[in-house]
Amino acid sequence: MIRDHNGHVRRSSIQSLTVSFSFQITKAVAIFRGLVLAVNSGLLPLVVESSTKAVIDMINSGVAPQADIGVIIHDILSLLSKFPISISFVSRRANIVAHSFAKLAIESVFYLFWFNLCLPSVESFVLPNLVV
């Protein structure tokens, strides 16, 4: 989900993966796809928040590891070098909307995108974060 500085939802998506990856690779792919959606939508500058500390630490180290995850980390680092994007760790409690989207993605076989809308199933988590 991509929100503006007031907390309003600007873009969101659910994208299931057709193959099974490790937890960390799945999270890195989700970050990469979110970055691509934000860049293609012109929603910059961007602050990315994730509760997957190991992946955030890999990205913020600035070096892609020599493991399988290194390919996607390299792609993320490439985007970070070209656009005004920062990435930071947040606790899982602060990232409850993302976890709600992940649950929906597991149940979906489609790539679904929403523009300037919020899904009713996550709306109760998003609304308290709006700046009025």
pLDDT one-digit tens code per residue, 105-120? 556 555 565 666 665 6
pLDDT, residue 70, reads: 96
The residue among 107 and 54 whose pLDDT is bigger is 54
The residue among 108 and 30 whose pLDDT is bigger is 30
In this predicted structure, the answer to whether residue 46 has a pLDDT above a threshold of 60 is yes
Superfamily of domain 2-119: Ribonuclease H-like superfamily/Ribonuclease H (3.30.420.10)
pLDDT, residue 36, reads: 94
Average pLDDT over residues 10-27: 76
pLDDT, residue 132, reads: 47
Q: What is the DSSP string of 51-62?
A: S-HHHHHHHHHT
Runs of H (alpha helix) within 42-117: 53-61, 70-82, 96-107
Buried b (16+ CB within 10 A) or exposed e, 68-107: ebeebbebbbebbeeeebebebeeeeebbbbebbeeebee
Q: What is the pLDDT of residues 73-115, one digit of tens each?
A: 999 999 999 999 999 998 766 566 666 666 665 565 555 656 6
Q: Which two tokens stand for residue 12?
A: 């969101």
CA distance 111 to 54: 26
Phi and psi at residue 90, to the nearest 5°: -130, 155
Lowest mean pLDDT among 14-23, 38-47, 75-84, 110-119: 110-119
